[in-house]
Structure 1
Amino acid sequence: MHTVPYWRLSGFYFFHFAFIGAFAPYWSLYLKHLSFSALQIGMLMSLLHVTRVFAPAAWGWLADHTGRRLLIVQVAALAGLASYCGVFFGESFGWMFVIMALMSFFWSASLPLIEATTLSYLGESTARYGRIRVWGSVGFILAVTATGYLLDAAGIASLLWAVLGLKLGIVIFSRQIPEGEVMVHHADGTSIGQIFRRPEVIAFFAACMLMALAHGPYYTFYSIYLVEHGYSKSIVGWLWAIGVICEIGIFFLMPQLMHRFRLKQIMAFSFGCAIARFLMIGWGVDWPAMILLAQALHAATYGAHHATAMMVVHQFFRGRHQAKGQALYTSLTFGLGGTLGGIFSGYAWEWLGAGLTFTVSSIAVLLGLILVVWKMNVGRAT
Structure 2
Amino acid sequence: MIALPYWRLSSFYLFYFALLGATAPFLALYFDYLGFSSARIGELLAIPMLMRCVAPSLWGWLSDYTGWHLAIVRFGAVCTLASFSLIFINKTYAWLAMVMALHAFFWHAVLPQFEVITLAHLQMQTACYSQIRLWGSVGFIFTVVIIGSLFDWLSLDIYPVVVVVMMTGIVGASLWVPNAQPVIHGNHFTGDSFLKQLRSHGVLTFYACVALMQMSHGPYYTFLTLYLKHFGYSRGVIGMLWALGVVAEVLMFLAMSRILARLSVQLVLLASFLLAAIRWLLLGSFAEIFWVLLLAQIMHAVTFASFHAAAIAFVQLSFGSRQQGQGQALYAALAGTGSALGALYSGYSWNLLGPTLTFNIASVAALAATVIISLRLQETH
TM-score category by the smaller chain? over 0.9
Asked if 2 retains the 8 angstrom alpha-carbon contact of 1:19 and 1:163, the reply is yes
Match of 2:357 in 1: 356
Match of 2:226 in 1: 224
- The correspondence for 1:273, drawn from 272, 275, 280, is 275
Question: Which structure 2 residues correspond to residues 179-218 of structure 1 after superposition, within 5 A?
Answer: 179-185=179-185, 188=189, 191-218=193-220
Match of 1:373 in 2: 374
**Superimposed CA distance per residue, residues 165-212 of structure 1 (whole angstroms, 9 cap, x where no aligned partner):** 111000001111122122113583661111111230011001111000
Question: CA separation in 1, counterparts of 2:17 and 2:171?
Answer: 13
Match of 2:338 in 1: 337
Which letter maps to 1:128? Answer: C
1:40 aligns with 2:40: yes
Asked if 2 retains the 8 angstrom alpha-carbon contact of 1:313 and 1:325, the reply is yes
Match of 1:114 in 2: 114
Match of 1:174 in 2: 174
Which letter maps to 1:199? Answer: H
Question: CA separation in 2, counterparts of 1:95 and 1:258?
Answer: 45
Deviation at 1:318, TM superposition (A): 2.0
2:176 partner SS: coil
Question: CA separation in 2, counterparts of 1:291 and 1:45?
Answer: 24
1:377 partner SS: coil
Asked if 2 retains the 8 angstrom alpha-carbon contact of 1:60 and 1:113, the reply is yes
Match of 1:147 in 2: 147
Question: Which structure 2 residues correspond to residues 34-183 of structure 1 after superposition, within 5 A?
Answer: 34-183=34-183
1:175 partner SS: helix
Question: CA separation in 1, counterparts of 2:201 and 2:208?
Answer: 11
Question: CA separation in 1, counterparts of 2:313 and 2:185?
Answer: 16
Question: CA separation in 2, counterparts of 1:361 and 1:289?
Answer: 21
Match of 1:258 in 2: 260
Deviation at 1:231, TM superposition (A): 0.5
Question: CA separation in 2, counterparts of 1:162 and 1:266?
Answer: 36
Runs of 4+ in 1 over 6 A off after TM superposition: none
Asked if 2 retains the 8 angstrom alpha-carbon contact of 1:69 and 1:113, the reply is yes
2:178 partner SS: coil
Asked if 1 retains the 8 angstrom alpha-carbon contact of 2:123 and 2:182, the reply is no
2:87 partner SS: helix
Deviation at 1:254, TM superposition (A): 0.6
Deviation at 1:148, TM superposition (A): 0.2
Deviation at 1:30, TM superposition (A): 0.7
Asked if 2 retains the 8 angstrom alpha-carbon contact of 1:185 and 1:320, the reply is no
Asked if 1 retains the 8 angstrom alpha-carbon contact of 2:249 and 2:305, the reply is yes
**Superimposed CA distance per residue, residues 334-375 of structure 1 (whole angstroms, 9 cap, x where no aligned partner):** x11111111111111121100001001000001101111111
2:4 partner SS: coil
Q: Where does structure 2 lack aligned partners over 5 or more consecutive residues?
A: none
Asked if 1 retains the 8 angstrom alpha-carbon contact of 2:116 and 2:182, the reply is no
Question: CA separation in 1, counterparts of 2:21 and 2:372?
Answer: 31
Q: Where does structure 1 lack aligned partners over 5 or more consecutive residues?
A: none
- The correspondence for 1:322, drawn from 324, 331, 334, is 324
Deviation at 1:122, TM superposition (A): 1.1
1:280 partner SS: helix
Question: CA separation in 2, counterparts of 1:149 and 1:137?
Answer: 18
Q: Report how many aligned residue pairs link the two structures.
A: 378
Deviation at 1:85, TM superposition (A): 0.8
Which letter maps to 1:315? Answer: L
Between the two proteins, what is the percent identity of the paired residues?
A: 39
Question: CA separation in 2, counterparts of 1:124 and 1:375?
Answer: 28
Deviation at 1:3, TM superposition (A): 4.6
Question: CA separation in 1, counterparts of 2:204 and 2:331?
Answer: 11
Match of 2:288 in 1: 286
**Superimposed CA distance per residue, residues 47-69 of structure 1 (whole angstroms, 9 cap, x where no aligned partner):** 12110101000001111111111
Deviation at 1:71, TM superposition (A): 0.6
Asked if 2 retains the 8 angstrom alpha-carbon contact of 1:60 and 1:324, the reply is yes
1:12 partner SS: helix
